Structure formats: C-alpha cells, structure tokens
Amino acid sequence: MRVWIDQDLCTGDGLCVDHCHDVFVQLEDGIAYVAEDGYVLNDPGGAGSLAWVRPRHVRAVVQAAEVCPGECIFIELDLPAVKPIPDDPIPDDVAAA
C-alpha cells in the first residue's frame, strides 16, 4: 500500500499525525506531508510524494484517511500486495463427511 497527500486540500488539522506520526508529518507551513523511513517526501503533486506504508502502519493510515477533514489523504493499493497462497487441499475423508 502507498499513500500521498494533496497539500491543496490539507486543512492543517494534524489528525493524520495524531493517528500515525511515522507516516505523516506536519511541516512549518502547517501542511501535512508523508514520510518514508523518516524522510519527508516533500514533492507536492509529484511522484516523489508517494510513500510506501509498512504493514504495521496500514490500519492507522486508513483510519487517518477516514477522519481527515480535508479528505486529502489518498491510498493506492498494489494488488495483490503479496503472492497469494493457495488454500490447503481438503483431505478426502473430511470432504466425504
């Protein structure tokens, strides 16, 4: 999953930072930006502002997007995120029961 912020829509409330300070930061201009591995991606509107989200932060990032008053947090899903694992075959004796 990747995330980015449209700074033109950001209201500067900082709720995203409250939800996940490892992914969202608020700079001196009062606007929120995304960060990846501690590095702020400050390229508004460019591909350089698209941050990968670590699995442990996925829930917090989604929650931040849901509560954002400016609706400026955009999430891009890379499906499939992981290689699908086939289901275990059902043993014949269980399937016959």
Rg (CA), the chain: 18
Strand partners, 36: 39
Tell me what pLDDT residue 91 has.
58
| pLDDT top residue among 87 and 15 | 15
Task: Count CA within 13 A, CB hemisphere, residue 40.
Answer: 12
Which of the 8 DSSP states describes residue 17?
H
- Give the residue extent of every domain in the chain: 2-76
The architecture of the domain spanning 2-76 is: 2-Layer Sandwich (3.30)
Name the strand (E) or helix (H) holding 59.
Answer: helix 58-67
Tell me what pLDDT residue 42 has.
77
In sequence order, which residues have a C-beta less than 8 Å from that of residue 18 and are 6 or more positions away? none
pTM confidence score? 0.76
pLDDT digits over 18-60, tens only? 999 999 999 999 999 999 988 999 776 666 788 999 999 999 9
